[in-house]
Every structure is written in C-alpha cells, then in structure tokens.
Homo-oligomer: A and B are copies of this chain.
Amino acid sequence: MSLDQVLETIETDLPAAMDRLMQLLRYPSISTDPAYASACTEAAQWLARDLQSLGADAALRPTPGHPMVVGHIPGDGPHVVFYGHYDVQPVDPLDLWDRDPFDPEVQDTPKGRVIRGRGASDDKGQLMTFIEACRAWKAVHGTLPGRISFFFEGEEESGSPSLVPFMKENADELRADVALICDTGMFGDDTPTIVTRLRGLLGEEVVLKAADKDLHSGMYGGPSQNPVRVLARIIAALHDDAGRVTVPGFYDGVPDLPPEIAAQWAALGFDATQFLGDVGLSVPAGEADKTALEQIWSRPTCEVNGITGGYTGAGFKTVLPAEARAKISFRLVGKQDPHAIRDSFRTMVRNMLPDDVQVEFHPHGASPASQMETDHPLFEAARHALSDEWPNPAAYVGCGGSIPIAGYFKDILDTDAMLIGFGKDDDQIHSPNEKYDVESFRKGIRSWARILDQLSKM
C-alpha cells in the first residue's frame, strides 16, 4: 500500500522534481577546468541545501580540489551509502551544441521528452533520481527505511584525485552495508540493469619537446626534429595490426571471459551494427578476434583522447612545431595493474625518443577494474524491484566506462557496491547536446522507491 502512495507522490511531484534538477544543471561545474572552480562549489552548496531539506546533516567537506558533499539521515534498518558526482565534462566543441549547455530545457523529440543540458544524464539527473525517491518516501512515511548516507563527489570527470584520501580519512563514517551508485546506463530501453563489471582507467598526457621555439619549416625542416612526427610514431606503435595494445606487459592480468558470462551476454541480443550505426559507424574495429560487446565490457583498450601541436588555426602556417601533446588513456580489466602499465608505457615512450626530443608525462588518474560480488541479498532484492518497474527483467551486465568508486568502496570500506542507472546509449554523455530522457528520470525515481521498499523489508 505504502509503496503505491510513494509512487503516487512521485508522479504528483514530478514537475517540482524536474525544476530542482534544472536548478542543479545550471551550475557549469566542469571540474577539469580551474576556471569553473566556483561553479563546482556552488553546485555542491545547492546539493547540501537540498539534502538538508530532507533532514540530512549535509555539509561541504573540503579537499585539496573540489569539495565533497556528505550527509546522513538516521534511521532503523540497513545502512546504505549513495554515491553520485555533481561535476560534469567540458562542453567543447561548443559550436556543436544546439543551445547553451548550462541553460537546460525540456524538449520534445521524436523519441520522447528529454532534458537537454550538460550533466543531465552524467551524473546530475541520475543522482537526483535517488534523492527524489527519498523525498517521496519521506513525504509518505516521515522517515526513511534505513540509515541513508549521501556521498557526492566533484572530481569524477577529472580523475578523482581527492577521492581515495577522503574515503580513507572518513572510512568509519562512509562504511555501510551496501553502496548504491547511480552513474550507469540501461541495456536497451526496457531492460533495467545492474552493472557488475567496470573497466579501470589510466590517463597520461604526453608532452614532447624539441627546439626551444617554433621554427620555420623551410629553414629548419629536415635536420631538425619535429615532435609531432615523433608523437605520431609513438601513437602508431601503441597497437599492432590485430588491434592489440603493444605496451609490454599490458595484457598481464587480463582474464579470459568465462563461457557462462559469454553465454549470458550473447543472450542479450546486442546488435553491434545498430550500436555503431547510431553514431555513424558500421564495422567493428579494434581487436580482430573479439566481438564489439566483448571488447567494451571485458577487454582493455588504449585510446588517444586528444592531440595538438604546431599551428592549428585557419589557413596554413609552415611552422616546425617546438612541442606536441597527446592525452592517452587506457581502459583496464581484470587484475591489470594501472601503476605497472603506466611505468611500462613511459618506458616504451622514452625508448622511442630520438636525440633532441624530451618528454614530460602528466598523470591523470590510475584506477583498476572492478568486479562486484552479487552475494548480498540486496542484489537479488534490487533485481526484483527493477523487474517490477520495467517491461523486461533486470540484467547483470558489464560496462565499458570506468567508475573507480565501486572498487574503492570494496577495497577501502569493504562495502559491496550496486551500480544501478537509467542512462541510455544515446544520452550523448561527454558529447555535445547531452540529454536525459524524462522517462529515465521518472522511472529512475520510481525504481529507487521500489528498492527502498525492499530495503524496508530487510
């Protein structure tokens, strides 16, 4: 009965919930760019106030970077800690956005109503689904069905430099029976999804320098080193012809996919052609002997996320560049050791440098892959709750992205993490015109309400 009342409250309160999300989306909380530091703090302050309105003792907790937001609502029953991040990705190329990324609006599209704006899906819209479910539950019951802790980070999109120290320093406060994380997507429109595998992430910015200034390519071209050419050789050497990464030792700790998992995934009916077709591609690239889904959920990769050097403006400038830079990242699986791979990568790069070319490395995050234990009874309870809300039963899947927090909960706090999210493949997270379906938001809130209901019975 009381669950029905909560679900009804969610429906009635939906316009107000959307307004609250819009307020949060208006903060340009781009964590990687120091120019937006105050916007990050303001987004954190907004969240703390919102949690306080639920009765939480929420506060900003300083770090060397952007603040954490932590708040607790006391209650009887199991202790769950909910994690999300209030920071967002940069918005460039800005000219590919149809509107100001930080002036969100609800738009009607052929596929339904969407909330358009940076962070709508990743992760502001997702984290608000849980807060709104708690708000509705509390409105009906006056309390929450357990002790709920909220833990929001502001550096997830920039390598989470403060996260591990903060979790270690505040381990007793954050430790819980289970961690809930809402930063993942659904497998298809109708299949709610619990992610049990996440890839790790290792980021390195490589800066090559040769001459002490940009040179005239006619006067110096030939006998002078060109760092762009050296960088291109290094990048080209990072993969072999079969699409495998060549960094020595890279595949140490990469497990074979167990046949039963392979069978489960095959049963999901993933359509690689459609997956690629949605973004203008047609033929799976990468490791020649792996399916697209296997690659994304269970194989490590190496990608160049950005490169720059020399003259990149309009027209032509016959310069011999003094410097070239690339941002290179590795997605990791199984027991791959990010620190060992970083060392091996750096050695490989150094070994490829000719005379007169120097290298600098700027590290950007190093988190191992993680794989969830699904033994805790809340996993099965959540699977039932999700299956009640959506057309298809819930699935346990992998995720190509990197959400190191799940591994940290396990390693630092010995707390199992459940990754449940309502994002869609076409949400364009990290891209221009990011959106979150209004239905993702609405049914996301309802899904969490059903999970709270399961919690109340434990």
Write the residues of chain A forming the contact surface with B, with a CB cutoff of 8 angstroms: 31-34, 89-90, 92-93, 96, 157-159, 199, 201, 203, 205, 210-226, 228-229, 231-233, 235-239, 272, 275-276, 279-287, 290, 292, 295-296, 299, 301, 303-321, 324-327, 329, 331, 354-356, 364-365, 399-402, 425, 428-432
Known: A228-B235, A314-B32. A432 touches B213 (CB 8 A): yes
Contacts of A211 in B (CB 8 A): 279-281
Q: Among B307, B311, B326, B430, point to the contact of A305 (Cβ < 8 A).
A: B311
| Bound Cα distance A295, B229 (Å) | 18
In addition to A33-B315, A158-B316, A217-B301, 8 A-B residue pairs with Cβ atoms within 8 Å of each other are A90-B313, A205-B316, A214-B432, A225-B285, A229-B303, A307-B310, A308-B308, A316-B365
Q: Please measure, in the bound complex, the distance between the C-alpha atom of A290 and the C-alpha atom of B325, giving whole angstroms.
A: 29
Report chain B residues within 8 Å CB of A431: 213-216, 319
The one of B215, B280, B292 in contact with A430, judged by C-beta atoms closer than 8 angstroms, is B215
**Contact: A222 with B314, CB < 8 Å?**
no
CB distance from A16 to the nearest CB of B (A): 31
Question: Complex formed: what's the CA distance from A229 to B303 in Å?
Answer: 8
Asked if B321 contacts A220 (CB within 8 A), the reply is no
9 cross-chain CB contacts under 8 A: A211-B281, A213-B280, A219-B425, A221-B296, A228-B307, A228-B326, A306-B309, A310-B327, A312-B327
A205-B312 Cα distance, complex, nearest whole Å: 10
Q: Is the CB of B201 within 8 A of A318?
A: yes
Is there an interface contact between B222 and A311, defined as CB atoms closer than 8 Å? no
Contact of A316 among B210, B217, B327 (CB under 8 A): B327
A310 to B328 CA separation, bound complex (whole angstroms): 11
Check A213 against B296 for contact (C-beta < 8 Å): no
A201 CB contacts on chain B under 8 angstroms = 218, 318
Q: A92, B430: Cβ atoms under 8 Å?
A: no
- CA of A304 to CA of B276 in the docked complex: distance in angstroms? 31
CB distance from A210 to the nearest CB of B (A): 7
Give Cα A341 to B33, complex, Å: 43
Interface centre among A211, A286, A318 (most CB of B within 10 A): A318
Contact residue among B224, B232, B301, B329 (Cβ-Cβ distance under 8 Å from A222): B301
